[in-house]
Structure 1
Amino acid sequence: MRHPVSPPVPELVAAVRRALDGGPAVVPLPRVTRGPLPAGTALVVRTSGSTGTPREVALSADALRSSATATHERLGGPGRWVLTLPPTHVAGLQVLVRAVLAGAPPVAAPDARFTPDGLADLLEPALHGAGGAPVYLSLVPTQLHRVVAAASDGEGRPLRTLAGCAAVLVGGAATSPALLARARDAGVRVVTTYGMSETAGGCVYDGLPLRDVRVRLASPDPSEPPVARAGSGAGGDRVGVIELGGPTLAAGYVGDAAASDAAFRTDHRTGERWFRTSDLGRLGPDGALAVLGRADDVVVTGGENVAPAAVEALLGELLGGEACVVGVPDREWGQALVAVVAATSPSATGGRGLEPLGDARLARVRAAVATRLGPPSAPRRVYRVPALPLRGPGKVDRRGVVDLVREHESHD
């Protein structure tokens, strides 16, 4: 489960401990930018590059401590952390930070490849040797999907073992409601998280911000006042760009002052510093944040705007598995809405590439989506695939999905 180019976990843990105490910054991957680090930098973490060239984010010891302490408070107290994510990404590194602050070394495996059986082998001794302390871990949705799928194939030990954990943080990408329901029905205490490298990892748990974290929805025009703010009682049906504030914010991007100034801004009306994400969201009456997907993922088909996240969640409910909805160039529609759904079990597709749904089933799926979300949201075509292409830990590569569809359809 260890990233092949990362330092050994014990070395990283020791480096994280020194950095939190004011020592040299931890840089788990070779630098891709030049220039000095901002004063007080404890960790330099590389973004996943969803907008192009990866950036390096500078996080202070205070930001890391604030995030880890608020996480422990939300979960019910410090515990034993199990590392299942690459310790070169912020989610994996935060497992190490939490472990250091909890005073218990993280449980990690030397194997770089995640498998459900490997997870069970890792968790069982951790659960038995915790001495009553809670056991926590972080997963990405793809990992949770594989554990649930293994149970569907008759390998129930990984899911049963996962249910023994006090909390299983799941983040890094959207998790389908159907997958969450199946995991929770099996007794897994799933906590969904939302955040990014620029916020020291997850800072919104189950839709609610951690202590001292601020959430608001902003107008697409950054110069206009915010649309709504968590805790204000406003929100309802209004949709806006998600902005996050509080003590977990990064200092900025290393060696890219222009990008830092564009993303991290101080509100002249309140003096508060905010990070402007690329995601759209909605705030409920209780202040819970619903993430609707990236603003630049919106597909314009036949002149109508379709947000893929809502369609993906419904397809997960209807078909099972993880769905990715993309726009594919089309002469009639401009962009045709196409869905690719990972099979619940790899054997369900026979191990082949894209397999289209049969006409009758496609018609039923389209009708169900049109009824729930409106006709423009009904995908023109739906394919099953053994697994979706990924970039970074658990993040679906949408460009890769588009390429898969175009390559498949060019041969039809």
Structure 2
Amino acid sequence: MSTLRLVPGTPDAVLSALTALLDGTGTAFAPLPGDPAAAARVRQAVVPDEPLESSEVGVVLATSGSSGEPKGVLLSTAALVASATATHERLGGPGQWLLPMQPYFVGGLQVLTRSVLAGYTPVVASDYPDFAAGASAMTGERRYTAMVPTQLARYLRTDVEVLRGFDAIVIGGAAMPAGLKAEAAEAGVTAIPSYGMTETGSGCVYAGEPLAGTSLRLDDQRILIKGPTLFSGYRLQPELTAEVLRDGWFRTQDRGELVDGRLRVVGRVDDVVISGGVNVTVTAVQARLLEHPGVKDAVVLGVPDSEWGSRVVAFVVGEVGREELRDFVGEVLPRTWAPRQVVRLSALPMLASGKVDRQRLLDGVR
């Protein structure tokens, strides 16, 4: 049985390991973050001391752990190549990529995979004084980058002309707010929202339409995905693998709708919590809070509660009071959906992947 090689999660080290994997001279690897605590969590998920389940495994990546402990995701070399090839096909052809994120998450790793397959040396943003300097170092005829919504919002304020120079900017890691999408379009920036996760080899749905080879269907709103970019399973967790991979379909934890053939993600399966006997859709509450002019950012979660079963808690960046927010929610949603607790923060805690650290929020109020 083949073994798993740990490599530093730096762009140079991951690129070297990935290049060798793609040309057939390398072996399966798992990239480790530089932070010791994060690296320990990754080691626990990828289990480097045990033989790999299959010789076809190319990379083992740890999920972000935004909702709990990270899991080791087994990705074959074929899945990585299928994702990169389909992405280039959707965007209009191979090109050079700028990497402004960490390569030990699937989004950053696939920026490097696309670069290798396209025959270009990727430009690593952290090697330059700022984002604009990195972009100016690109020489490819077609130029691409990928980033999370928070990065796009920041660069729209500081580097909008630089953003216009990209043929496409793939947005992933978190949902792209409608306001941000409109702002980018108005600025003449080609920002394409993507949907996917580590288990799907990065984004597999662009602007609501699946990439070539990817199929979608819904099971009572739960999004199911099938295609060549899917992972092979969870590291040393056959029962969990069997639960989510059935007949070639990956059962995600997300809910969606198909509107004119396009996928619209409406929330997570666990976004409906029962509070005092009432079913509350926390994503709807969150969306309403974000419409308040005094709310800069917000996340709404259900927190276990001895009296209510679950209490609806809003984590809000802004100076608005609890009662004002409850009244605001109650204007368009059932009053019983209004958050029972409001936690005001200067900023939402974020993971390196660009996702909100939900577990940290929950740990702070339990």
Relative to structure 1, the CA distance from residue 93 to residue 35 in structure 2 (aligned partners, 3 Å threshold; closer, same or farther) is: same
Residue pair 1:252, 1:260 contacting (<8 A) in 2 also = yes
> Is residue 289 of structure 1 aligned with residue 297 of structure 2?
no
Deviation at 1:67?
A: 0.7
> Is residue 242 of structure 1 aligned with residue 223 of structure 2?
yes
Structure-1-length-normalised TM-score: 0.75
Q: Could you tell me how far apart the structure 2 residues matched to 1:111 and 1:314 are?
A: 40
Question: What does residue range 342-353 of structure 1 map to in structure 2 within 5 Å?
Answer: 342=317
In structure 2, the partner of 1:192 is 193
Deviation at 1:216?
A: 1.0
Q: Percent identity?
A: 43
Residue pair 1:356, 1:381 contacting (<8 A) in 2 also = no
In structure 2, the partner of 1:32 is 47
SS of the counterpart of 1:395? coil
Letter in 2 for 1:196: M
Deviation at 1:13?
A: 1.9
> Is residue 258 of structure 1 aligned with residue 239 of structure 2?
yes
Deviation at 1:279?
A: 1.3
Q: Could you tell me how far apart the structure 1 residues matched to 2:67 and 2:51 are?
A: 22
Letter in 2 for 1:198: E
Equivalent of 1:366 in 305, 314, 329: 329
Deviation at 1:47?
A: 1.4
Letter in 1 for 2:242: D
In structure 2, the partner of 1:303 is 277
Relative to structure 1, the CA distance from residue 279 to residue 37 in structure 2 (aligned partners, 3 Å threshold; closer, same or farther) is: same
Q: Could you tell me how far apart the structure 1 residues matched to 2:300 and 2:170 are?
A: 25
Relative to structure 1, the CA distance from residue 94 to residue 378 in structure 2 (aligned partners, 3 Å threshold; closer, same or farther) is: same
Question: What does residue range 4-403 of structure 1 map to in structure 2 within 5 Å?
Answer: 6-23=8-25, 24-29=27-32, 30=43, 31-33=46-48, 34-50=50-66, 52-110=68-126, 118-126=130-138, 129-130=139-140, 133-148=141-156, 151=157, 157-219=158-220, 240-266=221-247, 273-284=248-259, 286-319=260-293, 321-328=296-303, 333-342=308-317, 355-357=319-321, 361-362=324-325, 365-367=328-330, 370-371=331-332, 373-380=333-340, 382=342, 384-403=344-363
Q: Could you tell me how far apart the structure 2 residues matched to 1:58 and 1:171 are?
A: 20
In structure 2, the partner of 1:351 is none
Letter in 2 for 1:100: V
Deviation at 1:50?
A: 4.2
Relative to structure 1, the CA distance from residue 122 to residue 377 in structure 2 (aligned partners, 3 Å threshold; closer, same or farther) is: farther
Q: Could you tell me how far apart the structure 2 residues matched to 1:14 and 1:195 are?
A: 25
CA shift digits 1:252-305 (9 cap, x unpaired): 122222222222111xxxxxx111111111221x12111122212322233222
Relative to structure 1, the CA distance from residue 39 to residue 92 in structure 2 (aligned partners, 3 Å threshold; closer, same or farther) is: same
Deviation at 1:325?
A: 0.8
Deviation at 1:328?
A: 4.1
Deviation at 1:313?
A: 3.0
In structure 2, the partner of 1:347 is none
Q: Could you tell me how far apart the structure 2 residues matched to 1:93 and 1:386 are?
A: 31
Relative to structure 1, the CA distance from residue 185 to residue 336 in structure 2 (aligned partners, 3 Å threshold; closer, same or farther) is: farther
Residue pair 1:6, 1:87 contacting (<8 A) in 2 also = no
Residue pair 1:177, 1:316 contacting (<8 A) in 2 also = no
Q: What is the count of residue pairs matched by the alignment?
A: 345
Relative to structure 1, the CA distance from residue 51 to residue 402 in structure 2 (aligned partners, 3 Å threshold; closer, same or farther) is: closer
SS of the counterpart of 1:324? strand
Residue pair 1:329, 1:336 contacting (<8 A) in 2 also = yes
Residue pair 2:102, 2:352 contacting (<8 A) in 1 also = no
Relative to structure 1, the CA distance from residue 251 to residue 329 in structure 2 (aligned partners, 3 Å threshold; closer, same or farther) is: closer
Structure 2 residue runs of 5 or longer lacking an equivalent are 1-6, 33-42
Letter in 2 for 1:248: T
SS of the counterpart of 2:144? strand
Residue pair 2:115, 2:122 contacting (<8 A) in 1 also = yes
Relative to structure 1, the CA distance from residue 28 to residue 305 in structure 2 (aligned partners, 3 Å threshold; closer, same or farther) is: same
Letter in 2 for 1:147: Y
CA shift digits 1:45-100 (9 cap, x unpaired): 11123453322222112111111111111111111111111110111100000011
Structure 1 residue runs of 5 or longer lacking an equivalent are 152-156, 220-239, 267-272, 344-354, 408-412
Residue pair 1:325, 1:340 contacting (<8 A) in 2 also = yes
CA shift digits 1:343-390 (9 cap, x unpaired): 5xxxxxxxxxxx44375x5366324xx42x443443345555331112
Relative to structure 1, the CA distance from residue 402 to residue 52 in structure 2 (aligned partners, 3 Å threshold; closer, same or farther) is: closer
Bigger strand share = 2
Deviation at 1:324?
A: 0.4
